[in-house]
Structure 1
């Protein structure tokens, strides 16, 4: 937990949810939703930029980070239902959500069954780009994106990948590829910003623009020179965008 102020354990969705905390307890909150195989850990650079004036809460979804799960691997709907249960259990309905990668799909799916829980949303690098519909193509894009990220990111992600294990990682990727995220974007009726790094090889500019276009109150912001994981590799730029939507 180095760098975080503390952690929170909440019983929700049949598991003991873990969330990392940073910022004044009396400040307005922002909830960060991690991507494929990740956890609260890679949100720390963004949390440090937001913590002056905001309280950052970064939950680990079931099976990832410090939140346990059974043998069942949850698909996007399962993960969003678990997130919904945690938001209700902690009284965070309507709190702004900042998501990265597959976490964007989880947040969009939340609008399909629990729209009352959505506040403003920031979708950073929203997957899955339909121009790369296979696991092999996605893997190649992710490897290419890694060359543009901060050199320390792979070390952070390696620990998270070891925590969740290859079976959960691959099956969650398969579920994310099968998720019809495009058909649900119109259900996100709260203010929304789609953020893309100009060097993001995972999410094309065309797909990011299409996501923003389909969101009823969406807009696209591109960060020059950034890659896929802005919350870790370009936290100052993403923090400015988050503060602007708030």
Structure 2
């Protein structure tokens, strides 16, 4: 399938501005801004094995009345790849988010943050950072979870339980092997694991191309972090109003995680469950995901600005 046959909204629009941002450990992060300068600011953090390209459908939905900044998590897209295993941790994710916000959010301003999968975990990991909190008006956690990822994984048959389930789940997620070229088999497998059964073929193709572009070493490095993830204690520190979005057919971070997060968040803004949708909800149902982001912008950015004026 050629690039021309992909959905138009799965191709990133031209960036208004690009950034190369230095994180706390000297690591360089790539980010890009879309939409009019001075419009309400939204910052997007993508998930494991993805890149800024993943957010293209949501960015199209938010243009032209938002300023949207998307950045490549370290190792992904155009951001630098960590040189050692020490470059992979939730602390590094939080460092990178703090660096991005410090660079793109003007002094005294705030943004609505949205994170998908590992991007949501990034927001949770940074919940105790004062510099992040000061620049955050509200957050949207999309298809994500705070921990117990292997225990709740629904990729394996329900009959596989307990320690065997965790072992096999770890073997699936922590493979060092490159994914190789896109084939009918890899396309079908990735659709089963990450998308809803009714997802159109062209959106499956867009998703497959993004995931296959992630280097095998980066995929493995972050899989080890995700396999032992525990951010439950950070949820109580995420003070910003926070909405949660999940697909009912999400096999990687099923709805049980969303319910746990809502119960622990200090300022929950509700749960949006998308029927028939898998893990890649921003690609599968971008209008609904963008709608939640827009709702929080309207409630916590535009209202604040009007009061200040």
Structure 2 length normalisation: TM-score?
0.71
Structure 1 equivalent of residue 138 of structure 2? 120
Contact 2:105 2:135 (C-alpha < 8 Å) held by counterparts: no
Map of 1:145 onto structure 2: 194
Larger mean Cα displacement after TM superposition, 7-16 or 157-166: 157-166
8 Å CA contact 2:111–2:138 kept in 1: the answer is yes
Which residue in 2 is equivalent to 1:245?
296
Summarize deviations over 1:40-96 as a string: whole Å, max 9, x none: 001000111111311211111221101113412421211211121121123356311
- For the 8 Å contact 1:10–1:86, the answer to whether it is kept is no
For the pair 1:175 / 2:228, whether they are aligned, the reply is no
**1:83 & 1:119 partners in 2: Cα distance?**
15
Name stretches of at least 5 consecutive residues in structure 2 with no aligned partner: 1-9, 154-164, 174-188, 298-309
Aligned position for 1:74: 88
Per the normalisation by structure 1, the TM-score is 0.88
Instruction: Note closer, same or farther for the CA distance 1:2–1:20 as it changes in structure 2 (3 Å cut).
Output: farther
Q: How many residues align?
A: 246
Partner of 2:22: 12
Displacement of 1:176: 1.7
1:83 aligns with 2:126: no
Partner of residue 276, structure 2: 225
Greater alpha carbon shift after TM alignment, 126-135 vs 47-56:
126-135
Partners of 2:261 and 2:239 lie apart in 1 by 13
What aligned pairs does 1:37-76 form with structure 2 within 5 A after superposition? Answer: 37-72=49-84, 73-76=87-90
Residues 82-120 of structure 1, C-alpha deviation per residue, up to 9 Å, x if partnerless? Answer: 121121123356311111011111110111234334331
DSSP 3-state at the match of 1:107? helix
Provide the rounded CA distance (Å) in 1 between the counterparts of 2:30 and 2:204: 22
1:3 aligns with 2:9: no
Counterpart selection for 2:237 from 177, 187, 202: 187
Q: How far did 1:198 drift?
A: 1.7
Instruction: Quote how far apart the aligned CAs of 1:123 are.
Output: 0.5
Question: Is contact 1:135–1:173 with CA below 8 Å preserved after alignment?
Answer: no
